[in-house]
Structure 1
Amino acid sequence: MNDTLPDNITGLEDEELLQEQDERFEHYRFEVDKGQSLLRIDKYLVNIMPSISRNRIQDAAESGNILVNGNAVKSNYKVKPLDVISIMLGYPPNQYEIVPQNIPINIVYEDDDIILVNKQPGLVVHPGFGNFDGTLLNAVAYHLKDNPGFDANDSRLGLVHRIDKDTSGLLLVAKTADAKSNLGKQFFDKTTHRRYQALVWGTVKEDEGTIVGAMARDPRDRMLFTVFEEGENPVAKHAVTHYKVLERLSYVTLVECRLETGRTHQIRVHMKHIGHTLFNDDRYGGNEVLKGTTSAKYKQFVKNSFEICPRQALHAKTLGFNHPRTGEYMHFDSELPEDMQMLIEKWRNYSKSL
């Protein structure tokens, strides 16, 4: 049996797979040996699936996707002899085959181990619910179609981390299993350095600050995430975002966000939590006039601004990590895409006119 799990082992990890799925499918099944001593299931599965991190197995258990004898268990369950362990996901095995497609992507660095892409907004990163092709991974598969060592459908290779469809910026792809394992550990250990730039609604008063708030799906809308008080939601994941004001532009603020953790929608949720929703973030309400005047002229100005940047104004600007083979520290910076540059300049001109 293949001992690798897909990146979305939790079943609902990526924004393109957020829809609830009542039907689940068995992807992996193991029967515990007769002589097995009592052992936590996360440790047991790491032992028999060495390419999978314990953290991902624990996430799968928290999502109810690990069953023992037909019942969902948590990661501290202790396996017993002859237990039957099933790993369930919300889609049939091999449903999303990644086929090479000639899709333009901006590769800013490449060697034998890694590819660094500056992803354009609007490009989904991998196939999933509602997006079976036309993704960044389809583009990478095409780019490496003549590389016999790269299989786009091998989950030991490929994306090391993710950014949302409408977020632009730097994204790291591993060309080998060793590279993905090494880089995955760096992200898990929080030794990578990631900085984003975002335009948010309102005047951020403090020049810099830190947002600490555990995140989980909003029980009122499973397409959204929200912040919970400590202990309020047992499945909420600890999340930390550091921010710094770069420029105040009347009713909006340009901020830099540094991720200490990497939760789905983290910057979008954390900035909304402190009252500064990302500009034109339609999922979290930023596509409405949240600050400013009620004049028709101002409303038209905001509408025109939405048209200039028809997505959440968020860009993954910098990425730093140690090269998985050489250990050399590498740091990359990317320019803001044209839509965000034009948006910021529009607000600068508006601010000067006041």
Structure 2
Amino acid sequence: METSEKKLVFEIKRRLIDKRFDAAAFDLLQDKFPENDLSRGMITRLIDAGRVTLNGRAARSSRLVDLHDTVEVFETDLAIPAPELDAGREIAIPIVYEDEQLVAINKPAGIQAHPAGRTDRATVAHWIVNRYPALRVIGEDALRPGIVHRLDRETSGALLIAKTTPAFEELKQLFQNRAIAKTYIALVYGHMPEREGIVERPLMQRPGELKRFVVETQNIPEAARPAITAYRVIARYRDFDLLAVTPKTGRTHQIRVHLAFLGCPVVGDKLYAFKPARRGEKLFSARQLLHAYRLTFDLFEKKYAIEAPLPDDFRTLLLDIDETKEAGYDDEALKSLLTE
């Protein structure tokens, strides 16, 4: 019986020659989808069930693969349904602002906004139902109580949570209408081509990959989405630049893809940094050094300017690479850099 499920096809590269099928498939898929929390056991079970195939046919997990063999996997098997949300997990998340309409937090790096995929890690959503049980009914999805936007798991910074249904609906519209100004702080490898500039390049999903995006420069297909990112260098070090980045559109991974396109990927970016940077040969960072610093907007005739101070790991690293030692990188020092 034919299936309408979409299959993703990948080719065995030279480095995987003579590996077991299950090991090669896991290596290949983990490299393609580093944020999906895949496991070797999961891939083996999919192979045994005939859901991951070799050259279009079911094969034993122990079979050795060869150059140019193809590994096929159903897309739906890499997007495993999220678990139900429970209130039994406690994590520490700083609150930077709160009123009757919303709460703004400084999301730590390494914590997802809401459950997704196979992970059973605690998320911001778990924190919300622990601290604000009444917010379970706010929003459009029980797994995203009050959450109107998101940050990548490894991105830290300001995240808004609506406390009322009117606030949720209004904030959602503000984000959709690009009426919320966002400022990110990013540390990048190398030096930007200009001290200040705008990247206006459309983005699209990389063919055959669920969570990786690319800049399209020629023969732009309909699937490509317009994306605009403004940046300004606020500090320069021997091997790195510190940037204030303002995305004018809100595409997935937009800042990371645009900066990598300019040859200056975010430090610690496991998806888009060039390989030497990903291996940490220049500077080691356990996570990508991208931080959502400021959100400004009007809500119900009230002006908001939400700021999330740089987390300690980001500040410490900046102090380590700053040979002048003039800036402390606390909130006041950062504001000074942003206004220079």
Displacement of 1:351 in angstroms is 10
1:108 aligned to which of 82, 91, 96: 96
Whole-Å Cα distance in 2 between the matches of residues 348 and 182 of structure 1? 42
Which SS does the other structure have where 1:124 is aligned?
coil
Whole-Å Cα distance in 2 between the matches of residues 198 and 106 of structure 1? 20
Which SS does the other structure have where 1:118 is aligned?
strand
TM-score (norm 2): 0.67
The aligned residue for residue 125 of structure 1 is 113
The aligned residue for residue 168 of structure 2 is 180
Whole-Å Cα distance in 2 between the matches of residues 215 and 208 of structure 1? 21
Amino acid at match of 2:160: L
Which SS does the other structure have where 1:158 is aligned?
coil
Q: Deviations over 1:204-261 (max 9, x none)?
A: 1311100011111111543311111265221111111000011111111111100111
Pick closer, same or farther for the CA change 1:113–1:253 going to 2, 3 Å. same
- Aligned residues of 2:138 and 2:165 also touching (Cα < 8 A): no
Pairing 1:17-166 to 2, within 5 Å after superposition: 96-100=83-87, 101-145=89-133, 150=138, 153-154=141-142, 157-166=145-154
The aligned residue for residue 30 of structure 2 is none
Q: Does 1:348 align with 2:335?
A: no
RMSD across aligned C-alpha pairs, in angstroms?
3.3
Amino acid at match of 1:115: V
Which SS does the other structure have where 2:182 is aligned?
strand
The aligned residue for residue 316 of structure 1 is 292
What percent of counterpart residues are identical? Answer: 30
Displacement of 1:162 in angstroms is 0.8
2:309 aligned to which of 331, 335, 338: 335
Displacement of 1:286 in angstroms is 4.8
TM-score (norm 1): 0.65
The aligned residue for residue 11 of structure 1 is none
1:248 aligned to which of 231, 236, 240: 236
Pick closer, same or farther for the CA change 1:18–1:232 going to 2, 3 Å. farther
- Aligned residues of 1:105 and 1:119 also touching (Cα < 8 A): yes
Instruction: Give unmatched runs, 5+ long, in structure 2.
Output: 1-33, 39-45, 47-78, 327-340
Displacement of 1:275 in angstroms is 0.9
Q: Does 1:193 align with 2:149?
A: no
Runs of 4+ in 1 over 4 A off after TM superposition: 15-19, 146-153
The aligned residue for residue 267 of structure 2 is 279
Instruction: Give unmatched runs, 5+ long, in structure 1.
Output: 1-14, 23-89, 291-297
Pairing 1:223-238 to 2, within 5 Å after superposition: 223-229=211-217, 231-238=219-226
Amino acid at match of 1:167: T
- Aligned residues of 1:156 and 1:177 also touching (Cα < 8 A): no
Q: Deviations over 1:60-98 (max 9, x none)?
A: xxxxxxxxxxxxxxxxxxxxxxxxxxxxxx666xx5322
Whole-Å Cα distance in 1 between the matches of residues 147 and 136 of structure 2? 18
Amino acid at match of 1:347: I
- Aligned residues of 2:192 and 2:262 also touching (Cα < 8 A): no
- Aligned residues of 2:182 and 2:247 also touching (Cα < 8 A): yes
The aligned residue for residue 68 of structure 2 is none
Displacement of 1:350 in angstroms is 8.7
Whole-Å Cα distance in 1 between the matches of residues 254 and 136 of structure 2? 36
- Aligned residues of 2:102 and 2:163 also touching (Cα < 8 A): yes
Pick closer, same or farther for the CA change 1:201–1:160 going to 2, 3 Å. same
- Aligned residues of 1:157 and 1:177 also touching (Cα < 8 A): no
Which SS does the other structure have where 1:319 is aligned?
strand
Amino acid at match of 1:254: L
Pick closer, same or farther for the CA change 1:220–1:152 going to 2, 3 Å. closer
- Higher share in strand: 1
